[in-house]
């Protein structure tokens, strides 16, 4: 069985002071280096200012920075993570903005598509409101901050701040259902702003960089933003929660109508095909395993410690 040789581990959906984040890019990059990342993809709202500042394609101590944007509809809902373009339309109907990105051969990934507004003043909810009939490049299936804030209310907010990882255990199943309809890549994002909640610096960049990550599969070591963009365009990626261990050695393959997994550690594994429930989970050791017949599109989920460790959406063989 032949698996992809090269991969890169990083965090996408990161905001700076160029929009509503609290950090400067040089400090955020330093946090990423300390977290062991290979790349950071910035998505400041409605601008590409960091591109003008020379951050796109910059390599700092081995970490590549990619500059994208996060576009939004005129009512602030319906957000898109955008990559691979040198310009954006920052206002107007989100579907017009989507068409513009695609006309430039860029990527447009629906961000936090099923986000729920918490019952706390000052914290919004920004779900996707335009269905699955429009061509998009993928779905953000796991957004750390969106998962955390989904059921926050005044009675539990302090507990959620004190034990945040108890609230973020799995990808958004509704977002995964949406991915089965749209196709494209399935990614995980931090939605990192360096948030301060109740005047506490609780969700700093370094903390979030050690949680949900997106791994991209490559034909050669990561050196250019185009490699990142092309990997997502082809759906050559998977998501991990770094709290449960290093997932960089994970691989999957479809061969002869069967699904094969290369696991970097012991875990429980399940998968489902479109329109079907999850297969019964199986407990597997580190190594290569055949899970039997499978037809894409399919969604794979791998568990450790009561949390999802690895998640992958495969739309093609």
Give residue 178's domain range.
Answer: 6-246
145 and 120, same domain (yes or no): yes
**Total length of the chain:** 317
- Asked if residue 276 and residue 185 are part of one domain, the reply reads no
Q: Which of 226, 246, 266 is the last residue of a domain?
A: 246
Is residue 77 domain-resident? yes
Domain presence at residue 104:
yes
Does residue 159 sit in the same domain as residue 218? yes
Total number of domains constituting the chain: 2
* pTM reported for the whole predicted model: 0.96
Does residue 81 sit within a domain?
Answer: yes
Q: Is residue 143, in this structure, part of any structural domain at all?
A: yes
For 223-257, strand residue ranges (E) read: 237-241, 251-255
Domain boundary among 194, 212, 246: 246
Residue 255: name the closest of 1, 19, 44 by CA: 1
Q: Which domain CATH number covers 203?
A: 3.20.20.140
Instruction: Output the pLDDT for position 134.
Output: 93
Contact 108, 82 (CB under 8 A): yes
Tell me, yes or no, whether 122 and 261 share the same domain.
no
Specify whether 236 is located in the same domain as 89.
Answer: yes
Quick one: 187 and 95 in the same domain? Answer: yes
Confidence (pLDDT) at 122? 65
Please state, in angstroms and rounded to a whole number, the distance separating the CA atoms of residues 254 and 271. 13
Tell whether 1 is covered by a domain.
no
What is the residue-level pLDDT of the chain in tens, covering all 317 positions? 667 789 999 999 999 999 999 999 999 999 999 999 999 999 999 999 999 999 999 999 999 999 999 999 988 789 999 999 999 999 999 999 999 999 999 999 999 999 987 776 667 789 999 999 999 999 999 999 999 988 788 888 888 888 899 989 999 999 999 999 999 999 999 999 997 666 667 799 999 999 999 999 999 999 999 999 999 999 999 999 999 999 999 999 999 999 999 999 999 999 999 999 999 999 999 999 999 999 999 999 999 999 999 999 999 87
Phi-psi region of 127 (alpha: psi -120 to 50; beta: other; left: phi over 0): beta
Q: Which of 246, 261, 291 is the last residue of a domain?
A: 246
Please tell me the distance from the alpha carbon of residue 35 to that of residue 129, in angstroms, as a whole number.
Answer: 35
| Strand, coil or helix: 274 | coil
- By C-alpha distance, which of 65, 108, 63 is closest to 85? 108
Do 222 and 314 lie in a common domain? no
Q: Does residue 298 fall inside a structural domain?
A: yes
Whether residues 217 and 291 fall in one domain: no
171 and 290 housed in the same domain:
no
Q: Is there a single domain that holds both residue 175 and residue 239?
A: yes
Residue 161, domain member (yes or no): yes
Q: Are residues 186 and 303 in the same domain?
A: no
Instruction: Let me know whether 295 and 211 are in one domain.
Output: no
Q: Where are the beta strands (DSSP E) in 73-178?
A: 79-83, 107-110, 138-143
For residue 108, count CB atoms less than 10 angstroms from its CB and return exposed for 0-12, middle for 13-18, buried for 19 or more. buried
CA distance 146 to 115: 6
Q: What is the CATH number of the domain that holds 316?
A: 2.60.40
């Amino acid at each position: 069985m032949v698996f992809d040789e090269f991969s890169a581990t990083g965090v996408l959906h990161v905001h700076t002071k160029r929009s509503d984040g609290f950090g400067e890019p040089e400090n955020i990059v330093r946090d990423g280096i300390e977290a062991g990342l290979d790349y950071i993809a910035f998505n400041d709202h409605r601008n590409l200012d960091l591109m003008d500042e020379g951050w796109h394609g910059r390599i700092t101590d081995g970490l590549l920075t990619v500059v994208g944007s996060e576009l939004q509809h005129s009512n602030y809902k319906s957000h898109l993570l955008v990559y691979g373009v040198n310009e954006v339309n920052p206002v107007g109907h989100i579907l017009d903005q989507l068409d513009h990105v695609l006309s430039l051969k860029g990527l447009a990934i629906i961000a936090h598509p099923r986000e729920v507004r918490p019952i706390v003043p000052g914290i919004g909810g920004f779900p996707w409101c335009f269905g699955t009939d429009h061509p998009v490049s993928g779905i953000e299936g796991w957004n750390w901050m969106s998962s955390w804030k989904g059921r926050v209310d005044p009675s539990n907010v302090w507990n959620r701040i004190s034990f945040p990882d108890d609230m973020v255990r799995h990808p958004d199943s509704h977002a995964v259902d949406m991915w089965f309809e749209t196709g494209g890549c399935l990614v995980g994002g931090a939605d990192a702003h360096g948030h301060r909640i109740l005047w506490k610096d609780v969700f700093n960049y370094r903390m979030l960089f050690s949680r949900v990550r997106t791994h991209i599969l490559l034909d050669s070591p990561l050196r250019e933003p185009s490699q990142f963009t092309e990997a997502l365009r082809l759906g050559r990626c998977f998501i991990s929660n770094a709290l449960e261990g290093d997932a960089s050695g994970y691989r999957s393959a479809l061969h002869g109508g069967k699904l094969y997994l290369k696991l970097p550690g012991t875990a429980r594994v399940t998968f489902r095909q479109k329109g079907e429930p999850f297969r019964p989970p199986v407990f597997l050791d580190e190594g290569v395993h055949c899970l039997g017949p499978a037809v894409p599109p399919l969604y794979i989920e791998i568990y450790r410690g009561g949390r999802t460790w690895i998640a992958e959406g495969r739309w093609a063989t």
